[in-house]
A and B are shown apart, each in its own frame.
Chain A
Amino acid sequence: MTAFLIALAVTSAVTTILAVLMVIADAYINDYGEVTITVNDDKKFTVEGGSSLLSTLKEQEVFIPSACGGRGSCGLCKVKVVEGGGDVLPTEEPWLTDEEKKDSVRLSCQLKVRSDMRLQIAEELLNVKQFTATVASLRDLTYDIKEVILALDEPGSIEFKAGQFIQLEVPEYELTDEPVYRAYSIASPPSQHNRIEMEIRYVPNGICTTYVHKHLKEGDKVTINGPYGEFHLKDTDKEMICIAGGSGMAPIKAILLDMVEKGSKRKVQYFFGARAVKDLFLLDEMKALESKLSGFKFIPALSEPDAEDKWEGDTGLITEVVARHVPDASTMEAYLCGSPFMIDACVKVLKEKGMPEEDIFYDKFA
C-alpha cells in the first residue's frame, strides 16, 4: 500500500512538473515579442507577434475581407507578403495558385506574425473602415429574402462604389460562440452616405442568415466593415445587360440607382429571374426606373409560374429569356450577380451571343 502511494505521489509530482515546464516553454516559444509590419513601404505598425496576420491587421484597423472568420475556408484574405512570411503552409496550399505562390501571396488568416514583415496591400483595402450601426428597418421582401437597412452611427458616413459589398458581423448566439463575418452586397446608392441597405436571402443552417432572419430586430446595434469588391460599373458608354436572381438584386439595384442619380444615358436591359410571383420583389421600384433612366428596360421572368399567378410576362430560365431578347451582344457589356450556377450559365449564353469575356463582370457567390 505504501509503495502504491509513493508511486502515485511520484507520478503526480512528475506530471505537475512537466505541465509547469510546458506552460513555461509555451510562454517562451510563442513569445515573439514586438515585431514591425510595414505596409506598402509606407505605413508601419509595431505589434505583439504570435497572432494571425489577419487578426493582427484587423487590430490595426486594416480590414482584409474574410468570409469565414479566419478558418481558412473562404480563401478571400489573400495578402502579398514580400518579406517575413516564411514558407507556404499546408493549410494555404489549396487556395494559392502557382502564380500567387511565386508572387508571395499568402492567406493572412493562416499565417502567424512571428517576425518583421513587409506587405503589399491594395490601396482600396486600406480605406476599408469598421462601422457601428443601428438596424433602422427590417422588411420581408419575399418569404426568404429580407431587406435590412442600417443607419450608420460611428463613423456616420461611408464612401463606396455601387456594386461593392460590406461584411456584417454576427455576434455570439446559439449557432456561434464567437463573432463571425459574412459578405453582403450594398443595395443602396453611394449617395446615401449614412445608411446601408442589404437584401439577405435565408441560407438553411447559415450562421449569419439565420441570425438576420430569426434574431435581428429593429434598433439592434451591429458592426460592419467595408466597402470591398471589384464589382462596379465600368466607365464606358456600352449598352448594358444586367442579370440577377434572388438577393443578386442588391448590387444591380445600387448600380441602377446610381446611374439614375448621375443622369446616365446608357441603354440597360435588366433581366431578373425567379420561379413564381412569390419569389419576385421590388417590381414596382424597378419598373419605375424605366421612366427615370432613359433606355432602361426591366424584364422579370418566371421559370415556373403558379397557376394563380396569372403571369403575362416572360417565362423560362433566365438564360433562355436573355437569349430570346438579345440577338447580338458583341458590342454590349454585362453585369451579373448570383450563384455560380447562374453566373456560369449566363456567361456561356452571353459568349454565344458574341460578348467578349472581358466585357462580362460579375459578383459570384463563390
Chain B
Amino acid sequence: MKQSKELDQIQDQMRPGVITYQGFLGNDTRKLRDIIESDDEAVKRLGLTHRKIARRLREFREAGKKGLSIPVKVEDAYEVRSDSARGKLPCPFMHAGLFAKAYTIVRCLETEGEIIFTDLNIHLIEEHGFYGGRGSAYRLDPERLASELKVRI
C-alpha cells in the first residue's frame, strides 16, 4: 500500500539535519509506513503492545531520575542512570510541545548489555509505535527491549 502524504512529510522530518543531525532513520531505506508496520508485527508476535514497552521504559526512566544523574540499582538486575544534555527536541510526528534531551542508560547486570533511550524515544514508541530506522543510533529493537528489560506480557 502507498504511504500517505502525511507520513511522507513526517519521514522528511526524520532525515538527518532536520530535527537532529543524525536523523531518526539510520541507513534504513524503507518507507516510514513499512518501518512502523514491521516493528508493530514484531511487538504483536511478542504478545506485547507499544504502550507496555513504553511503560517499562518509563519505569526505568523514573528510577534513574531518582539517582540525580548518578547510576542506581533497579530490581537488583539493572544499573540505571538518567541524565540530560542541553536542548529540547520536537516530535517528528509534529505533536505540539518539546522534549528535553533527557536520556536513560539501562545496563543489564547479567548480560552486561546496555540500552540507551531518550524521553522522545518513549513518546515515539507510546504514541506512534516508532522504534527508529535500522542503523539509527537511537534505534530500539522491540525484541531486544522485551528480552533485556523483561517487559511483562
Nearest CB of A to B104, in Å: 10
Interface: B38 (CB within 8 A): no
Chain A residue nearest to B70 (CB atoms) is A275
Residues 85-99 (chain B) with a chain A CB within 8 angstroms: 85-90, 96-98
A365–B22 Cα gap in the complex (Å)? 21
**Nearest A-chain residue to B138, judged by Cβ:** A205
B83 contacts partner chain A, Cβ-Cβ < 8 Å = yes
B90 and A317 within 8 A (CB): no
Docked complex Cα distance between A207 and B101 (Å): 13
Instruction: Kindly provide the distance from the CB of A108 to the nearest chain B CB, expressed in whole angstroms.
Output: 16
Q: Range of interface residues on chain B?
A: 35 or more
Once the chains bind, are A341 and B86 in contact (CB under 8 Å)? Answer: no
Interface size class of A (residues with CB under 8 A): 35 or more
Stretch in contact with the other chain, from A13-21, A25-33, A65-73, A214-222: A65-73
Min CB distance B130 to A, Å, is 17
Give the contacting residue for A71; candidates B19, B71, B116; CB below 8 A: B19
- A341 and B68 CA atoms in complex are apart in Å by 5
Of all chain B residues, which has the CB nearest A208? B85
B48 is an interface residue with CB less than 8 A from chain A: no
Tell whether, in the assembled complex, residue A175 and residue B22 are in contact, meaning their CB atoms are under 8 Å apart. yes
B65 at the interface (CB under 8 A from A): yes
Contact call B70/A365, Cβ cutoff below 8 A: no
A73 touches B138 (CB 8 A): no
Is there an interface contact between A203 and B103, defined as CB atoms closer than 8 Å? yes
Q: Is A163 an interface residue (CB 8 A)?
A: no
Task: Provide the residues of chain A in CB contact with B100, threshold 8 Å.
Answer: 340, 366
Considering the chains assembled together, what is the distance between the CA atoms of A75 and B89 in angstroms? 10
**Bound Cα distance A71, B18 (Å):** 7
A359 vs chain B, min Cβ distance (A) = 21
Q: Does B69 contact A (CB under 8 A)?
A: yes
Given A175-B21, A175-B22, A205-B116, A303:B72 Cβ within 8 A: yes
Using CB atoms and an 8 Å cutoff, list the residues of chain A in contact with chain B.
67-69, 71, 73-76, 94-95, 175-178, 180, 182-183, 203-207, 245-246, 273-275, 279, 303-304, 317-319, 338-342, 345, 365-366
Would you list the 9 A-B pairs with minimal beta carbon distance, nearest first? A74-B87, A342-B68, A205-B137, A339-B69, A275-B70, A339-B84, A67-B86, A204-B116, A303-B70
Q: A71-B18, A71-B19 are in contact. List 10 more A-B contacts (CB 8 A).
A: A71-B20, A73-B87, A95-B98, A175-B21, A203-B103, A207-B22, A304-B70, A304-B72, A317-B70, A365-B84
Interface residues of B (CB under 8 A from A): 16-22, 65-73, 82-90, 96-98, 100, 102-103, 105, 116, 137-138
